[in-house]
Chains A and B, each alone.
Chain A
Amino acid sequence: MTLPLARRLALAGVPALLAAPPLLRGLVPTAQAQTAPAPTTQAPGFYRFKVGNFTVTTVHDGFFERPLENFVRNAPLADVQKILADSFLPTDRMRIPFTITFVETPTALVVFDAGNGVTPAGATQGRMIANMAAAGIDPAKVTHVIHSHFHGDHINGLLNGQGGAAFPNAEIIVPAAEWAWWSDTGNETRSPEGQRGNFANTARRFGPYQGKVRQLAEGAEAVPGIRGIAAFGHTPGHTVYRVSDGSAQLIFLADLTNRPELFAVRPDYHAVFDFDPVAAEASRRRVLDIAAADRARVTGYHFPFPAQGFIVKEGNGYRFVPGDWSSAV
């Protein structure tokens, strides 16, 4: 095999946390011996495509499973199960995948949100570091981390295993409204109980980036070719981003929906993680309408990997249409 070491390790499922060279050299032959009769490792989780002259790479960060009960707040379980079954998804649990969108422009290497970061051994989330390595993306070369919002699965990856900056050379761009909310502990009692941990987590995750955090006003340009679209509701400052190069565009939808099989099909469903579900629903309809009307390419943080495709209007809701997979980037 002519694969780089990192990719072989990713294929072998070796957690990146162990990535101290002496350990790795010891692990490789074992992994290969195990895979000799019948390889059972998954392919590296990344996918590349062009938006104009920009190169987009979606990088998988694994998944998290939770009970389906109490996931949708305003619909009976049986109805939710029916919608999931229509998309051939499991109905006995909710699997939430994570996929991070990277965009390389002529002047910047941008990542939208930061993934789950370093996770304990055995966790099903936290694959981004290994998959970035497989994709040949060096976190030290990331110039901007642009945040949609501050839920843990989106900001935990700002820290590396030692608690330092995982993106040591990046400027961190955050929606001003999101920053204002979660950096003021005076808002704690005005936040849903399940979300109060975000205050301390925000302070901790942005800690090593002091002086490198830039707040972005509603609708402002983050870097050339990338502009925010306010989509408040999921959190007080939840923001999605339009990436455009010439007539080509991509909309990073962040958490406008959780799994589209559920919340694009039923935009009126309210997820348990929505800070203000009514505002979230209004934002969801407004931005999905834009994506559908523009026939824009979209990526979504909780969309099924490779998490890129299109939105079409269908019935009273929308449907995610996965984009074609091509061997030619």
Chain B
Amino acid sequence: MERRTLLAAAAATPLLAAALPARAHHNEGMAQAPSFYRFKVGSYVVTTVFDGFTPRQNPARSGLIVNQPPEVVEQAMRDALLPLERMDNPFTVTFVDTGRELIAFDTGTGAGQLSPTSGLLGHNLEEAGIDPAKVSKVVISHFHGDHITGLSTRENVPVFANAEVLVPAAEWAFWTDETNSGRVPEFQRGTFANVKRRFAPYQARVRQFAWDSEVAPGVRAVAAAGHTPGHTVFQVASANDQLFIMGDTASRPELFLRNPGWFSMFDLDGPMASETRRRLFGRIAAERARLTAYHFPFPANGYVATWGEGFRFVPADWSSVV
């Protein structure tokens, strides 16, 4: 998550709402397509919904990869046909409709809150015909700002008016105890205050869950610590089908799947994040399981194949028939 962006955004709030691309697009012939994508996992209907992106200038030389020289990062970007001067960090939220429950996995960056090019979730949800008021559960992977800020509006009004909010117990324990602030880099310390603020309006409806427990029928929490102390992924099973919802186990796949040993500046514990990445993606590759991931390119669903020392993301075929 981009804490510095969040702070900058807070200072520049009035500008952001006006700059939202979705607003502009509504009145333009040359708009981008509504950005959601549907597929089935067993009898469950999964919808990935795009929240936009935050650009990062000169990513190889701005400290994003902690343990690699810029030339190596630039080569990886070149190999992936990504431009060197700017890397977009995309955000995609996964919704699962089990037929009885509508579950959101994380919440996006919030309209007009984190950056002028993100916060499009509400617009794309409307396009997808999903009413946030009908979401029965919001299940959180971890507490970085780009995952929880969308819980509430700028005025801190709940976006998911009728939802229960489920959080990993380990994540809750860490970020609700400010004595931990010395254990995180300075630029992530704002997370403590943001956690307080975002969960406050849901107070009575916040429920902690343990790893390996079910957060909903067929949806199991799987430990994935490293990126943050309580970072969690979710295994959704319906009929003989399954889906892993991977949160930030890897950020952009061209960098962190290809090179699972790379540490992101946002990984609180780089070595542990890396080990978790190898373990979980190794399992998913072996099982040929489908996945969604928060920072993978939209529609952010597909498969993982082993590739040299790392992995390759293989987007699933886009189908006009759900």
Residues on A lying within 8 angstroms of B by beta carbon are 1-3, 7, 11, 35, 38-48, 55, 60, 62-63, 86-89, 95, 97, 124, 127, 134-136, 295, 304-306, 309-310, 312, 321-329
Contacts and interface: CB of A to CB of B under 8 A. Distances in A.
A260 B321 CA distance: 21
15 contacts: A38-B102, A39-B130, A40-B45, A43-B33, A62-B320, A63-B321, A86-B305, A136-B31, A304-B317, A312-B79, A322-B315, A325-B35, A325-B298, A328-B53, A329-B31
Q: Which of A7, A62, A325 has the most CB of B within 10 A?
A: A325
B80 interface: yes
Contacts of A323: 81
Interface in B75-95: 79-82, 88, 90
B117 to A, nearest CB: 6
Given A35-B129, A327-B21, 20 more contacts: A7-B34, A41-B38, A42-B322, A43-B127, A44-B34, A48-B31, A48-B33, A88-B303, A88-B305, A88-B316, A124-B321, A136-B30, A136-B31, A306-B318, A310-B81, A322-B297, A325-B90, A326-B53, A326-B88, A327-B50
Given A87-B314, A324-B297, A42 B321 contact: yes
A34 B304 CA distance: 35
B247 interface: no
A118 to B, nearest CB: 16
Contact of A38 (B30, B45, B79): B45
B101 to A, nearest CB: 11
B213 interface: no
Contacts, number: 125
Contacts of B314: 87-88
A43 B117 contact: no
Contacts of A124: 320-321
B29 A136 contact: yes
B interface residue count range (under 10 / 10 to 19 / 20 to 34 / 35 or more): 35 or more
A47 B315 contact: no
Contact of B80 (A135, A305, A321, A326): A321
A261 to B, nearest CB: 9
Contacts of A60: 318, 320
A327 B35 contact: yes
Interface string B117-160: 10010000011111000000000000000000000000000000
A62 to B, nearest CB: 5
A42 B81 contact: no
Contacts of B45: 38-40
A1 B124 CA distance: 11
Contacts of A305: 318, 320
B282 interface: no
B56 interface: no
Nearest to A312: B81
B263 interface: no
Contacts of B90: 324-326
B298 A43 contact: no
Contact of B129 (A41, A136, A310): A41
A280 to B, nearest CB: 24
B81 A327 contact: no
Contact of A327 (B99, B117, B129, B302): B117
A55 B30 contact: yes
B33 A135 contact: yes
B299 interface: yes
A87 B81 CA distance: 19
B81 A295 contact: yes
B117 A328 contact: yes
B37 interface: yes
Contacts of B320: 42, 45, 60, 62-63, 124, 127, 305
B120 A327 contact: yes
Nearest to A322: B315
Given A38-B97, A63-B319, A43 B120 contact: no
Contacts of A43: 33-38, 127-128
Contacts of B81: 295, 309-310, 312, 321, 323
Nearest to B288: A88
B240 interface: no
Considering the complex of A and B, which 8 residue pairs feature the smallest CB-CB distances, nearest first?
A39-B129, A325-B298, A305-B318, A88-B303, A310-B81, A327-B52, A136-B29, A46-B33
B26 interface: yes
A11 B318 contact: no
Nearest to B313: A322
